[in-house]
């Protein structure tokens, strides 16, 4: 099991670097928790993932894999297989750099603040009709 944890940590750090994300527990903690719907994960737990002390559970591996744009199976067990940029499926081509920055900022918010922003946008949209 120790070898599996160490190998996972190497794959995670490499995937983060490939995705342009600093393989730091503090950096990953903010990005991970902005996407994870469960109880926020501590910097210490994430440090354990990056150093091979701990292995995250499947729900967390799925979030990590989405964050670095690789298949969860590949992140957990190795092999090839980057996945396509998910945003390309729903972002219209007319979205500019400013809108993309706003969307990225929204996605980086903690879940409760994202809900608040979603309510505000929905109210503004509905009042414009």
Distance CA 107, CA 25 (A): 19
List domains and CATH numbers for the chain: 2-77 (1.10.260.40), 90-127 (no CATH)
Task: Grade residue 87 by pLDDT with cuts at 50, 70 and 90.
Answer: very low
Tokens of 79: 């092999």
The residue-averaged pLDDT of 18-47 equals 94
pLDDT (0 to 100) of residue 93: 57
With bands split at pLDDT 50, 70 and 90, how would you rate the model's confidence at 92? low
Q: What is the pLDDT of residue 129?
A: 75
SS in 3 state form for 84-96? CCHHHHCCCCCCC
Indicate the pTM of the whole model. 0.62
């Amino acid at each position: 099991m120790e070898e599996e944890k160490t190998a996972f940590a190497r794959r995670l750090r490499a995937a983060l670097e490939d995705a342009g994300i600093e393989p730091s527990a503090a950096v990953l903690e903010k990005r991970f928790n902005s996407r994870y719907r469960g109880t926020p994960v501590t910097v210490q737990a994430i440090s354990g993932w990056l150093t091979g002390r701990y292995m995250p559970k499947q729900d967390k591996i799925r979030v990590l894999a989405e964050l670095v744009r690789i298949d969860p199976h590949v992140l957990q067990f190795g092999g090839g297989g980057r996945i396509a940029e998910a945003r390309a499926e729903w972002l219209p081509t007319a979205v500019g750099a400013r809108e993309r920055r706003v969307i990225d900022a929204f996605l980086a918010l903690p879940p409760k603040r994202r809900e608040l922003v979603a309510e505000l946008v929905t109210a503004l949209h509905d009042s414009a009709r």
